[in-house]
Amino acid sequence: MTALATDPAPASVAALRAALPGVVLDDSPTALAAHRTDRSAMPGDPNPLVVARPASTEQVSQLLAYANAHRIPVVPQGTRTGVAGAASAVDGAILLDLTAMDRIVGIDADDMIAVAQPGVIVSDLAAAAASRGLFYAPDPASAQISTLGGNVATNAGGMRCIKYGVTRESVRSLEVVLADGTILRTRPNTIKTVGGLDLTGLIVGSEGTLAVITEITVKLLPAPGPERGVLGLFPSVAQGLAATNRIASGSRTPARLEFMDGRCLEAIRKHIPDAPVPAEANAWALAVTDARDGAEEDLTSFEEIFTDAGATTVQRATSAEELEAILEARRQLQPSARGLLGGSVEGDIAVPRSALAAFSAGVAEVENAYDVTIALGGHVGDGNLHPIVAYTPAEGARARADEAVMTLSRLAQELGGTMSGEHGVGLEKLPALDTEMAPAALDLQRRIKALFDPNGILNPGKKY
Ligand SMILES: Cc1cc2nc3c(=O)[nH]c(=O)nc-3n(C[C@H](O)[C@H](O)[C@H](O)COP(=O)(O)OP(=O)(O)OC[C@H]3O[C@@H](n4cnc5c(N)ncnc54)[C@H](O)[C@@H]3O)c2cc1C
């Protein structure tokens, strides 16, 4: 964990107002309460100083220069849809709400890039690209509610990573403001450059701890073909995972490859009774193609693999609407989780795909040890599962569920994997860091943080 290098000077909103006359500052109890935490269960510190809403890079720069000089912590925030507590408040902090910087600066169809401010909602950027016949590939399930800046700062994943990679793969360059107010661009917008170290790569996924992202240039692709998909239902988790692994390692890379076990299906059905998920299946797998050429062959191949692996049902989505309804049901897994037993905590492990079966086999032991029920679903094409640890609310039950998530994280680490595939470390996953990274790597990481932010003002206490 990082802490402020020196004691904060007595910061006051009045002094901030005087120093930053152009920046919208809101210290109303309503604003402070609304910005105190994200969608995780991490409450955030109770006494942040103020919510600041800059309108430009220059305002971000002035604000950071002031905060740095006065050792005031700054917590960058998008729409706070994060699920690891990364955007949660810190006592005495300026909560830097970047949602007012929400302009799509431009789309260049020749160079196939888009330039956007950090507060742009991800699905709005995707729609703007689509209106020019282009494609912004990252598709987290929160695309309609999360910001591009938040996606870049968390290196968000989602359902299309097996084919198009995580957000990192779509980021061409960044304009950022360093902790002392310096504005810089991380690289030219060329496809290639080997000039200098990869600063873009360092800042992507840094969860607001290295710099504030004020403009993002992303790569666009030619529009893919229409999505078409095949659903397979299996008698066992092992058979479902065997099938998805065969598809993932085959030559016909799907655009989406998703998995849910029977308990996930039960959770969704409880939440949305008319959701298009089957009543009886122990495993559900969906393989989607968006190929412009060869889509029919892709679908046939997915069907054959599902059948070979022992699927009891193999079925094509008959229309775009039907496929979208199936995908929407899958997106509802996280919001459905609590309905299983009344309380739930979600993990975010990723393992090499070959270790998915071993991970799922280890789950029963964790259930018994902590008296919880675990549902397994996620982006199996990336080896990324979001184990839902469900519990019946009672004294001590939540603490047991948290411990179960930590044990699952360690199981993933033992299998060569990670405690977080896409949600980030934030506050929630900090306890699992020491078992994931070698002491020398952790130390190097903290020294890099200190170089970027010597006074430790940016999102202190998170990520490291
Ligand atoms: C229903 C639902 C579905 C989700 N599905 C997915 C999914 O499929 N895949 C996935 O990866 N995540 C998913 N998430 C998690 C979340 O949406 C992502 O982590 C998202 O990237 C957060 O974006 P945000 O704008 O809400 O950022 P916030 O939560 O506000 O912030 C997240 C982090 O980014 C930092 N940050 C934000 N903006 C900036 C900036 N401009 N400069 C520097 N740092 C910044 C913050 O300090 C914080 O550390 C989901 C969440 C929900 C609620």
Average pLDDT estimate for 24-32: 98
Question: Is pLDDT at 1 greater than 50 in this prediction?
Answer: no
**What is the mean pLDDT of the segment spanning 133-146?**
96
Categorize the per-residue pLDDT at 338 as very low, low, confident or very high, splitting at 50, 70 and 90: confident
Any atom of ligand 1 within 6 Å of the Cβ of 158: yes
Q: Is 81 in the pocket of ligand 1 (CB under 6 A)?
A: yes
Predicted confidence band of residue 7 (pLDDT cuts 50, 70, 90): very low
Q: Alpha-carbon distance 133 to 176, whole Å?
A: 29
208 CB under 6 A from ligand 1?
Answer: yes
The arithmetic mean of pLDDT across residues 281-294, rounded, is 97
Which pLDDT score is estimated for 41?
A: 82
Predicted pLDDT at 318: 84
**153 ligand 1 Cβ < 6 A:** yes
Mutate to test the pocket of ligand 1, among 74, 77, 144, 386 (most ligand atoms within 8 A of CB): 77
What whole-number percentage of the chain has pLDDT above 90?
A: 94
Ligand 1 neighbour 453 (Cβ under 6 A): no
Residue 284 binned pLDDT confidence (cut-offs 50, 70, 90): very high
For residue 266, name the pLDDT band (cuts at 50, 70, 90).
Answer: very high
207 pocket-lining for ligand 1 (C-beta < 6 Å): yes
Domain 13-100 matching CATH 3.10.20.740: the answer reads: no
Residue 175 has pLDDT above 70, yes or no: yes
Average pLDDT, whole number, for the chain? 95
pLDDT value of residue 10: 60
Binding site membership of 421 for ligand 1 (Cβ less than 6 Å): no
What spacing in Å lies between the alpha carbon of 156 and ligand 1's midpoint? Answer: 7
Give every CB contact of residue 155 below 8 A, 6+ residues apart in sequence: 166, 167, 168, 204, 205, 422, 424
- The CATH architecture of the domain made up of 228-414 is 3-Layer(aba) Sandwich (3.40)
For ligand 1, pick from 39, 154, 199, 214 the residue to mutate: most ligand atoms within 8 Å of CB. 154
Mean pLDDT over 134-139 rounds to 98
**Quick one: tokens of 123?**
């699905």
Cα–ligand 1 centroid distance for 160 (angstroms):
17
Residue 295 Cβ inside 6 Å of ligand 1? The answer reads: no
Strand order in the sheet with 313-316: 313-316, 228-234, 283-289, 256-261, 377-379, 384-385
pLDDT tens digit string along 353-407?
999 999 999 999 999 999 999 999 999 999 999 999 999 999 999 999 999 999 9
Report the share of the chain in percent with pLDDT over 70. Answer: 98
Work out the average pLDDT over 304-325: 95
Distance 152 CA to ligand 1 centre (A): 8
- For ligand 1, whether the C-beta of 428 sits within 6 Å is no
For the residues 238-242, what does the mean pLDDT come to?
98
Instruction: Provide the residue ranges of all domains of the chain, joining segments of one domain with +.
Output: 13-100, 104-222, 228-414
pLDDT value for 303 = 98
**Reduced 3-state DSSP string for the chain:** CCCCCCCCCCCCHHHHHHHCCCCEEECCHHHHHHCCCCCCCCCCCCCCCEEEECCCHHHHHHHHHHHHHCCCCEEEECCCCCCCCCCCCCCCCEEEECCCCCCEEEEECCCCEEEECCCCEHHHHHHHHHHCCEECCCCCCCCCCCEHHHHHHHCCCCCCHHHHCCHHHHEEEEEEECCCCCEEECCCCCCCCCCCCCHHHHHCCCCCCCCEEEEEEEECEECCCCCEEEEEEECCHHHHHHHHHHHHCCCCCCCEEEEEEHHHHHHHHHHCCCCCCCCCCCEEEEEEECCCCCHHHHHHHHHHHHHHCCCCEEEECCCHHHHHHHHHHHHCHHHHHHHCCCEEEECECECCHHHHHHHHHHHHHHHHHHCCEEECEEEHHHCEECCEEEECCCCCHHHHHHHHHHHHHHHHHHCCCECECCCCCCCCCHHHCCCCCCHHHHHHHHHHHHHHCCCCCECCCCCC
pLDDT at 63 over 70: yes
> Which residue from 47, 26, 72 is spatially nearest to 181, judged by alpha carbons?
72
**Residue of minimum CA distance from atom 45 in ligand 1:** 208
Sequence-distant (6+) residues with CB within 8 A of 355 are 383, 415, 416, 417
Q: Per-residue confidence at 3, pLDDT binned at 50, 70, 90?
A: very low
CA of 87 to the centre of ligand 1 (A): 8
The verdict on the CB of residue 461 being under 6 Å from ligand 1 is: no
The mean pLDDT of 50-59, rounded to a whole number, is 98
Q: How far is the CA of 151 from the centre of ligand 1 (A)?
A: 5
With CA atoms as reference, report the closest residue to 374 among 385, 412, 456.
385
Per-residue pLDDT, 9: 52
Residue nearest to atom 37 of ligand 1 (CA): 150
**CATH 3.30.465.10 for the 104-222 domain, yes or no:** yes
Closest Cα to atom 2 of ligand 1? 142
Ligand 1 atom with least separation from CA of 203: 43
208 Cα nearest atom in ligand 1: 44
How many degrees, rounded to 5, is the angle at CA 40 between CA 219 and CA 5?
Answer: 80
